[in-house]
Amino acid sequence: METKVCANCGTKFEVSSQASAFQAKIGVPSPTFCRDCRVARRMAFRNERVLYKKKCDAPGHDEMIVSVFATESKQRTYDHAAWWGDAWDPLDYGRDIDFTKPFLQQIRELWPEVPDVSVLNINPVNSDYCNITEGNKNCYLVYGGDFNENTSYSTYIFRSKESLDTYWIQNSEFNYETIDCTEGSKLLWSRYCEGCYNSAFLFNCRHCHDCFGCANLVNKSYCFFNEQLTKEEYEKRIKEFDLSSHEGVERARARFAEHSLKYPRRFARMIKAVNSTGDNIENCRNCERCFDVFQGAENCSDVFLVYSNVKDSIDADHCGQASELAYESSAVYPGSRVLFSRFIFNANNIQYSYNCHNSNDLFGCIGIRNKQYCILNRQYSKEEYEGLVPKIIRHMKEMPYIDSRGIKYGYGEFFPVEFSPFAYNETIAQEMYPISQGQAEQYGLPWRAPEEKGYAPTKHANELPDRIADVDDSILKEIIECSHGGNCNDQCTRAFRIIPSELAFYRHLGIPLPRLCPMCRHFERVRRRNPYRLWHRKCQCAGAATERGDYKNLGMHAHGQAHCANEFETSYDPKRPEAVYCEECYQQEVM
């Protein structure tokens, strides 16, 4: 272990022997930022959710387009078709290397000049207001989700339909306010559920139907707050909570929060994970501090949201399709030896580059497609390129870029946050590491105040009808003031409308209108997920019950009446109230 002090926040952090060996293998120095600051720095370049109208900058175009770049942004922006067209050449923006000034400064000057795509929305059908998506039909404000239909206000949703306000959902339909669920139908206000239907307020249930307010159930039906009932008794009891009423939903939410808190939590969701730590991972081997890994990863550390056999990577996120040797990089689909780069598709041997496709051997390039041996968007021969790259690396070490706070960025660091075309609070960084505007100013981070809208709310959220049956079509004409009123750090839009498909959805499921704008609803879902961090803890199974005694164990545990001695790494902060069990104790309690 090597102990260092973070150049950004001043905290001590350790570089593991595994990370040091990997860094030596790819020829880069150890980082100067701690792990959390490295993640926040990369995420400050990822605006998923904040959309604007911006004039298309492509020659011959003057139409307004949906864009992740603000109207006043200096970033040259093309619509999707124009960016992928042949009417422009990224090499036209190429420039010579200037060894009299920092190389990163030269990238910063090049970056906004090269056209960027307004939104990454591939093959949409009536789904213009989506981003980082593919194959969606009749979708609205869907982000990072693919192949969905008739879905709105959802993030990381895949192959699902007729759903609204969801987060991390797969192969489901008629879901509402569900998180980390798969293969569910008519599932409402639930989390960590698989194969459940006709149910509401469930936590960590599998293959259940017609259940309400339950936790840790498998293959059950007609259960009410974990009490087994007959069908007739169940149907009578659920009428205690009128889910067509906002007041009824809030009462159910409060009781469910209190009830579910009694039940032990699994320390981590890991399936076929060998010699690995993290949460929500499957088919992993030799992985440290990894999160949301699907379809396998091997020999990785500090990666998250990766899928499909990612290997030998550190400090990488949003990567997939057998990517390998990624370091301090984001959104690699796929690539090999991609360092300090972002949005790299089908490319190898890439350093300090952004939004490059089907290319190899690039250094400091923006928007390159189908090229090889380029530096600052200028074409070189193989021999010239291989001779220049070591000189550039040496130059970056000898003449580092110095940001507005005086922090040095030599070779081996991701782009400084001040290079980002987005304000900090427009990006995923604000979701993962939320800060106030004052804190942003303290750290020299860009912050964007909400746009002033040319409309005034016609109805406050607390004036909405309590029951969905009392809502008529006139609600579609109202501008509803969000309950937060902009007094939060959740990118609050202050006001929102109900769109026709949304109203039809609420009526079909018989649920009340929301009181928060879509942004604030999203941030509330984000906060219900565990963070991408781990704490070392001991199992809280005290023999016959949890340590605090409010839950009595249902199964026989190997340690008998003694306190379980197992320890683990978990994403549950010790300050949180949940009782956390090791895998062995947890499995005895899931009935």
- Residue 455 pLDDT greater than 90, yes or no: no
Q: What's the whole-number average pLDDT of the chain? A: 96
Domain-embedded: residue 238: yes
Domain-embedded: residue 358: no
pLDDT of res. 454: 76
Report the half-sphere exposure of 117 (CA within 13 A, side-chain side). 19
Domain-embedded: residue 423: no
- Residue found under tokens 């078709």: 81
Q: Could you read off the pLDDT of 328-340 as tens digits, one per residue? A: 999 999 999 999 9
pLDDT of res. 443: 87
CB 365 within 8 A of CB 392: no
Domain-embedded: residue 535: no
- Residue 591 pLDDT greater than 80, yes or no: no
**Cα separation, 518 vs 93, whole angstroms:** 39
Spell out the residues 6+ positions from residue 398 whose beta carbon is closer than 8 angstroms to its own.
none
**Cα separation, 552 vs 539, whole angstroms:** 15
The bridge status of strand 360-363 relative to strand 347-351 is parallel
Domain-embedded: residue 156: yes
Cα 272 to Cα 150, 221, 283, distances in angstroms: 34, 29, 5
Domain-embedded: residue 503: yes
Domain-embedded: residue 242: yes
Helix (H, G, I), strand (E, B) or coil at 460: strand
Where among 477, 497, 528 does a domain terminate?
528
Sign of the Cα torsion 398, 401, 404, 405 reads negative
Where among 245, 266, 287 does a domain terminate?
266
Angle between the N-to-C axes of helices 103-110 and 382-398, in degrees from 0 to 180, rounded to the nearest 10: 110
Q: Could you read off the pLDDT of 124-161 as tens digits, one per residue? A: 999 999 999 999 999 999 999 999 999 999 999 999 99
How many other C-beta atoms can be found within 10 angstroms of the C-beta atom of residue 558?
A: 10
Helix (H) or strand (E) holding 109: helix 103-110
For residue 205, how far is the Cα from the chain centroid? 23
Domain-embedded: residue 183: yes
Where among 220, 243, 266 does a domain terminate?
266
CB 187 within 8 A of CB 181: yes
DSSP conformation class of 218: B
Range of the domain at 484: 459-528
Q: Could you read off the pLDDT of 271-315 as tens digits, one per residue? A: 999 999 999 999 999 999 999 999 899 999 999 999 989 999 999
CB 423 within 8 A of CB 435: no
Domain count, the chain: 2
pLDDT of res. 48: 96
pLDDT of res. 175: 98
